Amino acid sequence: MLLLLLLISTGCDVNIPGCGKRSLPFFKKIVPPSLPNPIASTPGAPVTTATNPLTAVAPIATKPAGKSPLLDSSIEMSVTKAKPTATASATPTATPQEVEKIAFTTIEKDKPTLWTMNTDGTNRVRLTKVGTSSWFPLWSPNGKLLAFLSDMNDGKINLFVMKKGELTFQQITSYEDMSVGNSTNLKPPFSWSPKSDEIVYCYRNQIWKMNLDTLTPESISTQDPSYVISAIEWAPHRDTKYVAFLVKKGDRFFSLKLANPRLKDELKLDESSVPLSDISWTSEARDVAYISDSSKIFTASAETSLPKTIINAASPQLGPMLCYSPAESGSVLMVLAKKAIDEPLYRVAIVDKTAKDAQDPGSLKYLTEPSVVFATWSPDGSKIAYVQNGELWVMDSNNGANKLRIAAIGVQSPSWSKK
């Protein structure tokens, strides 16, 4: 037994009775980076936008120096609460913190501006000033915080976080040279922790972790300077600490890796000479799915180094985006895909049947017509919101029924929050 444990820890090939020769995965210890402290100035001071014509702005209450107000539940709301509808008996009215919201961007004066609205398209509120740029809004798993990239402070791109229902923001990084990542990526170059108290993000070919209470950055993975990190996602389950990410070098080297933010070690799950374009964790965080060569979908886990085929050329071309349903009752995999190679852009599809083996293609169920550029799940997995020809639509996730257009204003990168 001691010999077997030693072999596993070193990643050797072993002969297991009944299984044959297997290459067991192992974690590689990460060498701490030699980069300078990424915080150019002390973050933490809230950034207040100009007065919004739709709702009043109130300054955020700050905590003592060194502590972020984002996780302080004592902060009062900065948006006036809606008045209850007059009825025979008084009924409680939900505050902005207790309703699901969709955050998104639209192009105004050639720059992406950040907005939120209710899931039926009502109560639209602009969050950032026209003339500044904001990208990739992403709600925290608990639905209370919204993270996004923006250049609102001196034109430098950095990460910002705000509380739902408020119009003040906290800048949580202070870099001079942060970027929005690869222009072909549809998902943010950052990801929330399952507890909504930390964010991992990419900077200078490294993965950093930021604690929102202490605002202390910490490197958890250092890559070869010639690599580019093309996707990142923190496993959604509270008991799982892995962060999955894709790296690429040129157009002939691609790799899927896991990093453990606590132990700061690293595991390679797959390596390929064809493009790996996106990743998504199952809701229970046992497996991570990824797209290979725009035609195949595989899953892999930290417990085995053998990828499992999910889809094998069931579509003539898969889009650079896939996402598992957040519902805990089951993991339904959504993907952008073409039904015919000459279609403009993609349709929303879900995996109808997984491949039985490497020769079986599996099958997809197409839920929309072509021209979809982005899609996201509702928090309970019952709905899918998608952007088609600049319009935002919502439909039932199981069969594409009950399609409803909720916005026609050039929506980009929608993100759907919990209540």
Range 244-263 average pLDDT:
92
Lowest mean pLDDT among 18-32, 46-60, 389-403: 46-60
Angle at 41 between CA 40 and CA 42, to 5 degrees: 135
Range 204-228 average pLDDT:
92
Block residue for tokens 């990208």: 135
Confidence grade of residue 93 (pLDDT, cut at 50, 70, 90): low
Element (H, E) at 8: helix 2-10
Q: For the chain, give the percent of residues with pLDDT over 90.
A: 64
With a CB cutoff of 8 Å and minimum separation 6, the contacts of 17 are none
Bigger pLDDT: 240 vs 406: 406
Range 19-39 average pLDDT:
43
* Cβ atoms within 10 Å of 118's Cβ, excluding its own: 15
Where do the CATH 2.20.25 domains begin and end in the chain?
310-419
For residue 103, give the nearest of 113, 91, 117 by alpha carbon. Answer: 117
Q: What is the pLDDT of residue 222?
A: 87
Block residue for tokens 């990093």: 259
Confidence grade of residue 199 (pLDDT, cut at 50, 70, 90): very high
SS3 content of the chain, % helix, strand, coil (to 5): 5, 45, 50
Confidence grade of residue 183 (pLDDT, cut at 50, 70, 90): low
Range 206-234 average pLDDT:
93
Could you give the CA distance from residue 69 to residue 234 in angstroms, rounded to a whole number? Answer: 23
Range 109-114 average pLDDT:
95
With a CB cutoff of 8 Å and minimum separation 6, the contacts of 2 are none
Backbone angles phi, psi at 110, to 5 degrees: 70, 10
Range 59-76 average pLDDT:
40
The strands making up 347-353's β-sheet, listed across from edge to edge, are 317-324, 333-338, 347-353, 363-366
Give Cα 70 to chain centroid, integer Å: 20
Where do the CATH 2.120.10.30 domains begin and end in the chain?
26-62+103-273
Which segments of 130-275 are extended strands (E)?
Answer: 134-139, 145-153, 156-163, 168-171, 190-192, 198-203, 206-211, 216-222, 228-234, 243-249, 253-260, 265-272
Confidence grade of residue 250 (pLDDT, cut at 50, 70, 90): confident
Could you give the CA distance from residue 222 to residue 226 in angstroms, rounded to a whole number? Answer: 11
- Answer whether residue 23 shows pLDDT above 80: no
Bigger pLDDT: 80 vs 210: 210
Confidence grade of residue 94 (pLDDT, cut at 50, 70, 90): low
State the fold for domain 310-419. N-terminal domain of TfIIb (2.20.25)
Q: Which of 81-85, 91-95, 128-132 has the highest mean pLDDT?
A: 128-132
Range 33-61 average pLDDT:
37
With a CB cutoff of 8 Å and minimum separation 6, the contacts of 393 are 368, 385, 386, 387, 403, 404, 405, 406
pLDDT, averaged across the chain: 81
- Answer whether residue 70 shows pLDDT above 90: no
Task: For domain 26-62+103-273, give the CATH number.
Answer: 2.120.10.30
Q: What is the pLDDT of residue 205?
A: 85
Which two structure tokens, joined as six digits, stand for 238? Answer: 């509270």
Q: What is the pLDDT of residue 4?
A: 42
Q: What is the pLDDT of residue 68?
A: 58
Lowest mean pLDDT among 259-263, 358-362, 410-414: 259-263
* Cβ atoms within 10 Å of 334's Cβ, excluding its own: 24
Which segments of 5-65 are extended strands (E)?
Answer: 13-16, 20-23, 28-29, 46-48
Lowest mean pLDDT among 31-35, 48-52, 292-296: 48-52
- Answer whether residue 311 shows pLDDT above 90: yes
Block residue for tokens 């892995």: 242
Q: What is the pLDDT of residue 275?
A: 94
